[in-house]
Amino acid sequence: DQQVKQNSPSLSVQEGRISILNCDYTNSMFDYFLWYKKYPAEGPTFLISISSIKDKNEDGRFTVFLNKSAKHLSLHIVPSQPGDSAVYFCAAAGGKLIFGQGTELSVKP
Amino acid sequence: EAGVVQSPRYKIIEKKQPVAFWCNPISGHNTLYWYLQNLGQGPELLIRYENEEAVDDSQLPKDRFSAERLKGVDSTLKIQPAELGDSAVYLCASSLSWGSSGTGELFFGEGSRLTVL
């Protein structure tokens, strides 16, 4: 049973435009939600998080939105840059960290 | 500050052979994790240590997998015997105590890619 789902395996965006990565979850007891970024042959690195009591968190070009009623979160990257090309994992924390399947973002120059 | 160090980076073995992976966490991090990442999937927790104690090993296939964290620092994950389906990336991560933060911010190593032939 997949508690955290990323339904889009890939996303392609033009440089300078907005990238929107989506994630759905099933367990309303999660305390925190996080996004990790992974380059090939490297481990995932933490990008941004949001507490379950908030609906938005912003850090530079990255903003995470949480819609608890829909059990949905999204990561917005504005403006997108070629260096943002990577696999993005959403994760939910509630006793342990559960990851989604990942979305591969490709930002074209 | 050094990050999480894992070795070996790559390992190719034949099925039924044993294999071991080593992890050195970030200094001062009490919590250590081993994750399994299959191709096209997100990391899945195998085991979590708080200092020397394995506090969550519910997803560790104990018939063939074992782990230890002697002295609460380095850790070793072993598979014996390896099966074809064990081919994956094994990720080690560390964090400050999970219980005190609970935010899920982990620091991952580069992973050990295992290929079982």
Kindly list the residues of chain B whose beta carbon comes within 8 Å of any beta carbon in chain A: 4, 40-45, 48, 56, 91, 93, 102-111
Q: Hey, what's the torsion of the CAs at B11, B86, A87, B76, to 10 degrees?
A: -60
Q: Closest chain B residue to A46 measured between Cα atoms?
A: B105
Residue-level pLDDT at B100: 45
List CB contacts (< 8 A) between B106 and chain A. Answer: 46, 97
Residue-level pLDDT at B102: 58
Check B108 against A99: CB less than 8 A apart. no
Residue-level pLDDT at B96: 85
Residue-level pLDDT at B38: 95
Q: Closest chain B residue to A95 measured between Cα atoms?
A: B102
Which single residue is written with the structure tokens 């380059």?
A: A39
- Across residues B17-33, what is the average pLDDT? 95
Q: Cα dist. A2→A6, A36, B44, B70 in Å?
A: 10, 18, 11, 33
What is the distance in angstroms between the Cα of B63 and the nearest Cα belonging to chain A? 23
pLDDT band at B98 (very low <50, low <70, confident <90, very high): low
CB atoms within 10 A of CB A103: 21
Nearest CA-CA partner of B87 in B39, B45, B43, B47 = B39
pLDDT band at B115 (very low <50, low <70, confident <90, very high): very high
| β B53-56/B65-68 pair status | unpaired
pLDDT at B101 over 60: no
pLDDT tens sequence across A22-70: 999 998 889 899 999 999 989 999 999 999 999 999 999 999 999 999 9
pLDDT tens sequence across B42-75: 999 999 999 999 999 989 999 999 999 988 899 9
Q: Is the dihedral of CA B103, A41, B86, B82 positive or negative?
A: negative
Residue-level pLDDT at A94: 81
CA separation for the pair B13, A102 (Å, rounded): 28
Check B42 against A89: CB less than 8 A apart. yes
Contacts of B23 (CB under 8 A, 6+ apart): B4, B5, B6, B32, B34, B74, B75, B76, B77, B92, B109
What is the distance in angstroms between the Cα of B33 and the nearest Cα belonging to chain A? 10
Q: Which of A66-70, A100-104, B1-5 has the lowest mean pLDDT?
A: B1-5
Residue A67 at interface with chain B, using a CB cutoff of 8 Å: no
Rounded to the nearest integer, the mean pLDDT of chain A is 95
Residue-level pLDDT at B70: 83
- Across residues A72-84, what is the average pLDDT? 97
Check A4 against B42: CB less than 8 A apart. yes
Q: Cα dist. B34→A74, A82, B71, B78, B83 in Å?
A: 27, 31, 17, 11, 18
Residue A4 at interface with chain B, using a CB cutoff of 8 Å: yes
Write out the two tokens for A100: 């989604």
- Across residues A3-31, what is the average pLDDT? 95
Out of A46, A96, A100, name the one closest to residue B56 (CB): A96
DSSP labels for A67-78? ETTTTEEEEEES
Cβ–Cβ pairs < 8 A, chains A and B: 56
Q: Please say whether the beta carbons of A56 and A63 come within 8 A.
A: yes
Q: Closest chain B residue to A98 measured between Cα atoms?
A: B44
Residue-level pLDDT at B85: 95
State whether residue A47 is helix, strand or coil: strand
Helical ranges in chain B per DSSP H? 98-101
Q: Closest chain B residue to A50 measured between Cα atoms?
A: B103
